[in-house]
Chain A
Amino acid sequence: MSLTRADVEKVSLLGRLLLSDAELDTMTTQLTRVVGYVEQLGEVNTDGIEPMAHAVEMHNVFRDDALAASLTRDAALANAPKRDSECYRVPAVLGE
């Protein structure tokens, strides 16, 4: 499978990345190589092997419904690029 430039443009939009024309060319070439590399897995014969949903053969890992300490507000907000005394501040969200 080969990626088209349009595929890469779409993915960059979904990832909220603004790429220049030159970057789009580079990414199309590089991503095609990455996908091709992963596609080698398709050469393995998997007839009769049940599909897995997870890499580890474990299931039903639960915790009890018990409270644990939360972060203090200051600790939670410590890495925010912008904050006030209570909240994270982000550029205004449109359409709501």
Chain B
Amino acid sequence: MPDHPYDLIVGLETHVQLLTDSKLFCGCSTAFGAPPNTQTCPVCIGLPGSLPVMNREAFRLGLVAAIALNCEIPQFTKWDRKQYYYPDLPKGYQISQYDLPMSQKGWLEISDPKGRFAAKKVGIIRAHLEEDAGKSLHDEAAGKADSRIDLNRTGTPLLEIVSAPDIRSTEETRAYLTELKLLLTYLNVSDCNMQEGSLRVDANVNIHIHTPQGKIATPIVEIKNLNSFRFIERALAYEAKRQFDAWQETGRKMGDPGTFKQTRGWDDAEGVTFSQREKEESSDYRYFPDPDLCPVRTPTAEVQKVRGGLAELPAAIRHRLEKSHGITPYDSDVIVAQGRPLVDYYEEVARIGGDGKKAANWVTQELLRVLNERNWSLAQFPLTAAALGELVKLVVAGEIEITRAKEVFNDMVAHKRSAGESMAALGIAKVDTSELEAICREIVAANPKIVADVKAGKQQAVGALVGQAKKKNPNANPNDVRRICLEIIGGM
């Protein structure tokens, strides 16, 4: 990266909605997209006299994620009230976790199959369980007088995952978020759907500038509510440059009197970050333990049980595919990124086809091409893994050459046929060796000029014969034709 004299330093706070049916402290639905204010009750809109009770499944999902992120799970955890005034926060406080979070001190390993950065562990400072706020809707038609508030989302369980400032580039940022998202979807902890707000990111960013006097750190900026990977990359790139320019202009650095952590928003249309506020000190949230909620104790045995029951994680699957099927990190990354169903599908194709690398080619190239073109999920793909495996097996055995195999594949997909049926329908059959030799002798005899060229040392001239052989029998294997013709000419 460095065509500039500084390092980018990034820490990410990622909020994910947990896949529960009901909210964190009440029985209202968490379903996305319901008409405004139809999924609320006295607990989640904070009516007097209501009492929250913790959703067991939300706590379990938090535990699963934290353990998969290699976090320590303290035996004792509690919930606190974080007080601030905002119209989408009906109680005037958010139930969150302050000094005793349910997990801390973990890590997530990131790597890049393209090798743009070395594999590394990004520290996880903590992951804690809290409730979501409602939404402010902007009513263009009604003018600027009012904001409209929908409280359906209020009280939805969130896991806030706070990374250490270990991330050093936009590539690493993307890799961290991609891996986190993949991990959480494999674990069924969250669907991480960014369009629906199930995964939201705040980035803490500053730069370390190299000067002859040593390293200088700029004041930290928190960029809020980055709703797509593209926004995040653009915002970070912009902010790094902005901080460098600001430092050149003012010389202000972290820790100077009068510098605070600043909160900025990202305006994607303008391509700029803009100042929202100087960060309030955390004491301003006046955290205190929520007296309505009992603490939770998690015995070591419980942690062991969850750890033992964890699904196989993406990193482990990639490693296993590379080891047991001999495929490249690039291919294993492509397959695992599509989700567990494709991993299982691929392994079945590899098992039946008998060649892991060829199976990976068919799955990552032909199958994914069709899914992309038709906008299909794997479930909609008409071929079973066994059916595709049979085709791979025929290719591996040399029963069918690759161009014709692709025709067969397309026919199989179009007509939902087996490899055998498609080959029959396309009139594809392996040409008998004696028939192939007869064809070759015939065309060699009919083309004395080519024979002369080959004899003069121009071996590639034999290529013209392949086309003629295919005209006589479309099933003629080009490699075989080339080999036999050269043998015949060599013996003349």
Cα-based distance from A67 to B27 in the complex (angstroms): 5
Q: A53-B76, A56-B294, A73-B35 are in contact. Are A62 and B149 (CB under 8 A)?
A: no
Cα-based distance from A87 to B35 in the complex (angstroms): 10
- Size bracket, chain A contacts: 35 or more
Q: Decide if B136 touches A66 in the complex (CB within 8 Å).
A: no
Cα-based distance from A74 to B151 in the complex (angstroms): 13
Binds B, one of A24-32, A37-45, A88-96: A88-96
**How does the 8 Å CB contact mask read for B28-71 relative to A, with 1 for contact and 0 for none?**
11000001111111100100000001111111000000000000
Decide if the interface of chain A is mainly helix, strand, loop or mixed.
loop
Q: Decide if A87 touches B38 in the complex (CB within 8 Å).
A: no
Q: Decide if A95 touches B277 in the complex (CB within 8 Å).
A: yes
Chain A residues with CB below 8 A from B53, complex form: 61-63
Chain B residues with CB below 8 A from A66, complex form: 21-22, 27
B178 at the interface (CB under 8 A from A): no
Q: Decide if B136 touches A96 in the complex (CB within 8 Å).
A: yes
**How does the 8 Å CB contact mask read for B137-155 relative to A, with 1 for contact and 0 for none?**
1000000111111110000
B458 at the interface (CB under 8 A from A): no
Chain A residues with CB below 8 A from B38, complex form: 70, 72-73
Q: Decide if B149 touches A87 in the complex (CB within 8 Å).
A: yes
B486 at the interface (CB under 8 A from A): no
Cα-based distance from A90 to B265 in the complex (angstroms): 22
A49 at the interface (CB under 8 A from B): no
Q: Decide if A86 touches B148 in the complex (CB within 8 Å).
A: yes
Q: Decide if A90 touches B76 in the complex (CB within 8 Å).
A: no
Cα-based distance from A93 to B149 in the complex (angstroms): 11
Cα-based distance from A68 to B22 in the complex (angstroms): 8
- Whose C-beta in chain A lies nearest to the C-beta of B86? A93
Chain B residues with CB below 8 A from A73, complex form: 35-38
Chain B residues with CB below 8 A from A82, complex form: 146
Q: A65-B20, A87-B149, A92-B144 are in contact. Are A60 and B85 (CB under 8 A)?
A: no
Q: Decide if B85 touches A16 in the complex (CB within 8 Å).
A: yes
Q: How far is the CB of B467 from chain A (nearest CB, A)?
A: 66
- Whose C-beta in chain B lies nearest to the C-beta of A65? B57
Cα-based distance from A76 to B90 in the complex (angstroms): 12
Q: A73-B37, A90-B146 are in contact. Are A63 and B29 (CB under 8 A)?
A: no
Q: Which of A62, A63, A72, A87 contacts B148 (CB 8 A)?
A: A87
Q: Decide if B294 touches A54 in the complex (CB within 8 Å).
A: yes
- Whose C-beta in chain B lies nearest to the C-beta of A10? B284
B291 at the interface (CB under 8 A from A): yes
Q: Decide if A62 touches B55 in the complex (CB within 8 Å).
A: yes
B415 at the interface (CB under 8 A from A): no
A18 at the interface (CB under 8 A from B): no
Cα-based distance from A53 to B29 in the complex (angstroms): 30
A58 at the interface (CB under 8 A from B): yes
Cα-based distance from A71 to B44 in the complex (angstroms): 11
Q: Decide if A70 touches B39 in the complex (CB within 8 Å).
A: yes
Cα-based distance from A70 to B155 in the complex (angstroms): 13
Q: Which B406-448 residues sit within 8 Å CB-CB of chain A?
A: none
Chain A residues with CB below 8 A from B78, complex form: 53-54
Q: Decide if A90 touches B149 in the complex (CB within 8 Å).
A: yes
Cα-based distance from A53 to B287 in the complex (angstroms): 13
B87 at the interface (CB under 8 A from A): yes
Q: Which of A70, A84, A87, A96 contacts B28 (CB 8 A)?
A: A70
Chain A residues with CB below 8 A from B207, complex form: none
Q: Given A90-B146, A90-B149, A91-B147, 10 other A-B contacts at CB below 8 A?
A: A60-B294, A62-B55, A70-B29, A70-B39, A70-B41, A72-B38, A86-B35, A87-B37, A88-B87, A89-B149
Question: Could you show 6 A-B contacts with beta carbons less than 8 Å apart?
Answer: A58-B294, A63-B56, A65-B55, A66-B21, A68-B27, A73-B37
Residues on B facing A (Cβ under 8 Å): 20-22, 26-29, 35-42, 45, 53-59, 76, 78, 83, 85-87, 100, 136-137, 144-151, 265, 276-277, 284, 286, 289, 291, 293-297
